[in-house]
Amino acid sequence: MSAKLKDVAERAGVSITTASLILNNKPISATESTKKQVIQAAKELGYLRRQKVRNIGLMVPDLSNLYYMELTRGISLKAQEKGYNVIIFDSNNNLKRETNNLHTLRQTELEGIIMGISSTDKTLTKLRPIILNILNEDQVPIVLLDRNCPSLNCHSICINNYYGGYLATSHLVELGHTKIGCITGNINLPECQDRTNGYRGVFTENHLDLNENWIINGEFTTETGYKNTQALLDQGVTAIFAQNDMIAFGVYHYLKEHNLHIPENISLVGFDNIPFISMLDVPLTTVSQPIHQMGERALDILLTTPYISDTTDRVTLTLQPELVVRNSTSKPGK
């Protein structure tokens, strides 16, 4: 069985954090004698040979989602610049596949894992034992994307999804819309709940009546947008907030197919700012996530804070989205 970081630390008589910093050539106030002890212990245990494999695991919920495709691209390019290989796993929004991917990751020599999960908080409990084994037994650091879970003791990087939902809806209200539909992703996901709460918050703040039928739950897919557009039109909405650009594209396609004009007949706002939506016949107004920044920061966290000795070492970042106004929104009936 290959040596682990914990074995090196025990043989050298230092903490796991100290051993990790020394072996990764990171700044540390340790004596030369201590550094030599750690390096010698790593050589004796064969740990340094393992460390030469500079691989990073990346697990995403759905590579057919252009948001995750763009995120993966950014992480891969940045990792290559730093001399790391990226091993990519697509879970296809399936808990069983996520579980299998994590087991496979445990059998792979990795410097760390960047992980986006499709699981809800309820099903996350099923992944918890494997994640804890990766962290505690394998001493492989993990950065969670779009999820902050302090009990797992992982690093995390998130988007302020509440503010994103608030930005999208505020923009429409400022234009004069009061009947605004909202098509969500899986409402059991924290990011969907936060975006929906941001949407609701604008109605409350502006003392507007909210018809619950204006909120339709679905998935982060074009199909969800396409098949639910008519139900919102039947409710008399003058604008739609789609909780990602894939949903928005489904709405866009339905409206075009039924000879309804954007924004003259209905305004449309998306969420993500994936590249192609700015090149549509009517470029889409959207809430822009800092996708590349998120990937780069996740990688930086992974490489600069390799091991968490206790909860005080956790890195938790929340990035702020921005509204990008294009041609798909206007005053009602313009």
pLDDT for position 231: 98
Q: Are residues 23 and 87 in the same domain?
A: no
Distance, C-alpha 122 to centroid of its chain: 18
Cβ contact 85:57 at 8 Å: no
pTM: 0.81
Residue 241 in domain: yes
pLDDT for position 32: 87
Q: Are residues 131 and 250 in the same domain?
A: no
User: Angle at CA 273, nearest 5°, toward 267 and 279?
Assistant: 75
Residue 126 in domain: yes
Q: Are residues 233 and 280 in the same domain?
A: yes
Q: Are residues 116 and 230 in the same domain?
A: no
pLDDT for position 307: 60
Q: Are residues 274 and 176 in the same domain?
A: yes
pLDDT tens, N- to C-terminus, the chain (334 residues): 567 788 888 999 998 888 888 887 777 888 889 988 998 988 888 776 555 568 899 999 988 888 999 999 999 999 988 888 999 999 988 888 998 998 888 888 788 899 988 766 666 777 888 888 887 777 788 899 988 777 777 889 999 999 999 999 999 999 999 999 999 999 988 899 999 999 999 999 999 999 999 999 999 999 999 999 999 999 999 999 999 999 999 999 999 999 999 999 999 999 999 988 999 999 999 999 999 899 999 998 888 876 665 555 788 899 999 999 999 999 998 6
Tokens of 121: 């908080």
Residue 274 in domain: yes
Q: Are residues 108 and 203 in the same domain?
A: no
Residue 312 in domain: yes
pLDDT for position 162: 98
pLDDT for position 314: 81
Residue 84 in domain: yes
Residue 327 in domain: no
pLDDT for position 4: 79
Measure the CA–CA gap between 246 and 272, rounded to whole angstroms: 9
Nearest to 170 by CA among 276, 279, 322, 327: 322
Residue 330 in domain: no
pLDDT for position 208: 97
Q: Are residues 20 and 30 in the same domain?
A: yes
Which run of H or of E encompasses 43?
helix 32-45
What count of residues does the chain have? 334
Q: Are residues 66 and 127 in the same domain?
A: yes
Q: Are residues 77 and 180 in the same domain?
A: no
Q: Are residues 168 and 282 in the same domain?
A: yes
Q: Are residues 210 and 105 in the same domain?
A: no
Measure the CA–CA gap between 244 and 248, rounded to whole angstroms: 6
pLDDT for position 180: 98
Label residue 51 exposed, middle or buried (CB < 10 Å: 0-12, 13-18, 19+).
middle
Residue 328 in domain: no
Q: Are residues 186 and 231 in the same domain?
A: yes
Measure the CA–CA gap between 7 and 17, rounded to whole angstroms: 12
Question: The domain containing residue 220 runs over which residues?
Answer: 161-289
User: What's 182's domain CATH number?
Assistant: 3.40.50.2300
Number of domains in the chain: 3
Cβ contact 281:263 at 8 Å: no
pLDDT for position 2: 67
pLDDT for position 50: 53
